[in-house]
Chain A
């Protein structure tokens, strides 16, 4: 019997069905490894998984909480995705999130007596501008002085955190009535409206989904989106064909930073109603993982962010009911990412059976 042999070859055109299959395969593999890890830690694997699921998507309340948790993650994920279309590593979504939150908060202080219809659009715009300026700064440094964006964005994360600390400790933003480093509560009119009464799901979630969809069309359908992808793949050919690479780098970082800035406003005006250093627990960094997980597809980012939001909430429940620390969730996130990145090979190659000679 002649079975022939199997050959691996690059795919000419990636197929969606294979992308889906590889995603499912990666998910299954990560669950197996996570199970091994949980059992090594002495936990009851079935119970731990059940509690994660319960906390993430087990019922209406849990699901809505997951959406709330995913809101900033969608935005930071999309922010990283946009930048990476131009092969720019925006490690600074965390800092841009704070820059957006600070700009939005600052703008809101001028509008303490304005109605919602005025103050909320202003807050959203200010958040975008704040993040955009901060992201654009890294873009400008890269375009003008060839400063590596990984270094500049990482460093800028620290700068903005310390500026905020300064303002909250000795500066004018501190709530004098509070022991904590935080601002006073923002005006009622500046609160993001709720999407579902009785829950904490706020306007920010809609902003996030809208941002993802807009970015998708922007990247795939507009001339600027085309140029962003072109400079990402081949800056030399792009420059030869008249695309202004430096200017495009700045623009893409303005957009990326702006979107990350929206995440900051969502947390301040939708959830905490005041600005404090812990409005983000590393959302900007988780956004990088989410963007990779989503294969840099803005719509995929929504799904990946909801998954991660669920893991965070599920992890909390797991800790309460099984005693397995939530730190395990970070490990699970890492494992999922690793399997997704490896399984992506499936979408780029195909296995063909070739007839042996004869």
Chain B
């Protein structure tokens, strides 16, 4: 069977960095082909070359056997290749229909919305997508916004759909619905390239091409491989996916939150009566779609957001209205969601960032001044202990990779004995290797008897390391489950705040 798309020894460089190195692979009609790899492995670059966004230095692209020059996305669209980016490119104030039609070649100077509406409605029916075309995009949940993006691609008649990390923002239900639609498409001989590093999704594809450091490792049939094999190919060595996790040894209650209420930056209720207990030696995982109060919860716990009501106790002491400094000094470590914006001073050197928060500590001072020799000693120890890859301690932090920035934060936060560790999305955007490292660090804290509160959008992560999973939705805890009894379907439903499957596909085949 002639492949729909084939690349031959594609190479793309940025400066002296080779982003993809002589990659050859092909996509057959009617298959879901997954590109699997760590961050920076070259998945997105490869896709952007196919989509005409980047021009490769070497190699060729064939569409249905014919060599083509993809000089621009317009060219790719013209050849039936469409792409949905990780960050949606929708106009929030326009309606669904307008978003789909605007910018397509079918629209002339005047929009013929009537004709377009019929066409889009036909597409919706064909793929059983229930969407009100007149709704403004900003009113839609993220999962439905993604459908709008996909409809945009279908509307211009794509035969090959490229999805870049499509489920990063979806609940399990939304993700399942997405895959059902993708399957309907492939049944009609459309092809899908799916970029992902989530193994659960990858395993739903037909074939997988694994990339590592810009090179293709292999292309395998999905039903002839295993999770373990895929992971090993992706990171180049065997990894224990399920970390060794001792049975929990529950200590005393370290963090007790009672009826906590707080507002978000816009003054709306963000926490609406949170009750939560974290014990020593326990990891409590907060499951939830981003924006349901996780950020506000952590900010209130570390004292930078005002609690409107309720009480936070740390080892029996009421810290509800204490300053961030006081709370930190009591042994609370915080790993924020946005590393460079909330956790670090990017323009400071690595050394300077390592003492952020303890710049007044006696151990870094002599005769009233900061003693940079002591700071450098401390920094070098941190760099070695936490395997931070940096040219030196004097390097400007901005230049570090996300993984190393995260390690820097962890090194700093754990420099003092942390009784309570707060981590908001600690593995977002990190490589499998660093994620694994983060999990080990958190489990080590747990073994030491520390209490850990971890929020993650990645349910696999929570199932891997948490002892208790709680679900947060619109500032309320919807339920708490010991991890062994936590049913992923139920958790998924609670994450969207209902017991009904409101994001399901409208008709099933």
A interface residues with partner B (beta carbon < 8 Å): 7, 9-10, 12-13, 217, 221-223, 226-227, 229-230, 233-234, 236-244, 354, 357
**Chain A residues in 8 Å Cβ range of B323:** 242, 244
Stretch from B356-364, B442-450, B476-484 at the A interface: B356-364
With A9-B15, A222-B369 known to touch, is A241 a contact of B396 (CB < 8 Å)? no
Interface size bucket, B side?
Answer: 35 or more
**Chain A residues in 8 Å Cβ range of B365:** 223
Q: Verify B368–A222 contact, CB threshold 8 A.
A: yes
Chain A minimum-CB-distance residue to B353? A237
Provide the bound-state CA to CA distance between A222 and B399, in Å: 25
Q: Among A9, A226, A243, A354, which residue has its beta carbon within 8 angstroms of that of B352? A: A226
Q: Verify B347–A240 contact, CB threshold 8 A.
A: no
Q: Among B325, B326, B341, B399, which residue has its beta carbon within 8 angstroms of that of A237? A: B341
With A217-B369, A222-B368, A242-B325 known to touch, is A233 a contact of B359 (CB < 8 Å)? no
Nearest CB in chain B: distance from A10 CB, A: 7
Interface centre among B323, B352, B359, B395 (most CB of A within 10 A): B359
Is B56 interfacial (CB 8 A cutoff)?
Answer: no
Q: Verify B328–A13 contact, CB threshold 8 A.
A: no
Interface of B is mostly: loop
Q: Verify A240–B343 contact, CB threshold 8 A.
A: yes
Is B346 interfacial (CB 8 A cutoff)?
Answer: yes
**Chain B residues in 8 Å Cβ range of A230:** 345, 348, 356, 359
Chain B minimum-CB-distance residue to A11? B396
B interface residues with partner A (beta carbon < 8 Å): 15-16, 57-58, 302, 304, 323-326, 328, 334, 336, 341-348, 352, 355-357, 359-360, 365, 368-370, 372, 391-392, 394-396, 399
Q: Verify A242–B328 contact, CB threshold 8 A.
A: yes
Provide the bound-state CA to CA distance between A12 and B399, in Å: 7
Q: Verify B356–A237 contact, CB threshold 8 A.
A: yes
Provide the bound-state CA to CA distance between A10 and B334, in Å: 31
Nearest CB in chain A: distance from B449 CB, A: 25
Provide the bound-state CA to CA distance between A238 and B343, in Å: 8
**Chain A residues in 8 Å Cβ range of B328:** 241-242
Provide the bound-state CA to CA distance between A357 and B58, in Å: 10
Provide the bound-state CA to CA distance between A229 and B334, in Å: 22
Nearest CB in chain B: distance from A216 CB, A: 12
**Chain A residues in 8 Å Cβ range of B342:** 236-237, 240
Q: Among A13, A234, A243, A354, which residue has its beta carbon within 8 angstroms of that of B344? A: A234
Q: Verify A357–B356 contact, CB threshold 8 A.
A: no
Chain A minimum-CB-distance residue to B398? A10
Q: Verify B15–A354 contact, CB threshold 8 A.
A: yes
With A227-B359, A242-B323 known to touch, is A237 a contact of B343 (CB < 8 Å)? yes
Q: Verify B370–A234 contact, CB threshold 8 A.
A: no
**Chain B residues in 8 Å Cβ range of A236:** 341-342
Provide the bound-state CA to CA distance between A223 and B364, in Å: 10
Q: Verify A233–B360 contact, CB threshold 8 A.
A: no
With A12-B399, A13-B396, A239-B324 known to touch, is A226 a contact of B341 (CB < 8 Å)? no
What would be 19 A-B contacts, judged by CB atoms less than 8 Å apart?
A9-B15, A10-B399, A13-B391, A221-B369, A222-B368, A222-B369, A223-B360, A226-B359, A227-B359, A229-B348, A236-B342, A240-B302, A241-B324, A241-B356, A242-B325, A243-B325, A244-B323, A244-B325, A357-B57
Q: Among B16, B304, B326, B391, which residue has its beta carbon within 8 angstroms of that of A239? A: B304
Chain B minimum-CB-distance residue to A238? B345
Q: Verify A13–B395 contact, CB threshold 8 A.
A: yes
Q: Verify A242–B357 contact, CB threshold 8 A.
A: yes
Q: Verify A221–B370 contact, CB threshold 8 A.
A: yes
**Chain B residues in 8 Å Cβ range of A241:** 324, 328, 356-357
Q: Verify A237–B345 contact, CB threshold 8 A.
A: yes
**Chain A residues in 8 Å Cβ range of B394:** 13
**Chain A residues in 8 Å Cβ range of B325:** 242-244
With A237-B343, A240-B342, A242-B328 known to touch, is A223 a contact of B370 (CB < 8 Å)? yes
Provide the bound-state CA to CA distance between A241 and B352, in Å: 13
Nearest CB in chain A: distance from B461 CB, A: 23
Provide the bound-state CA to CA distance between A285 and B431, in Å: 50
Nearest CB in chain A: distance from B264 CB, A: 15
Q: Verify A242–B15 contact, CB threshold 8 A.
A: no
Q: Verify A240–B395 contact, CB threshold 8 A.
A: no
**Chain B residues in 8 Å Cβ range of A223:** 359-360, 365, 370
**Chain A residues in 8 Å Cβ range of B372:** 221
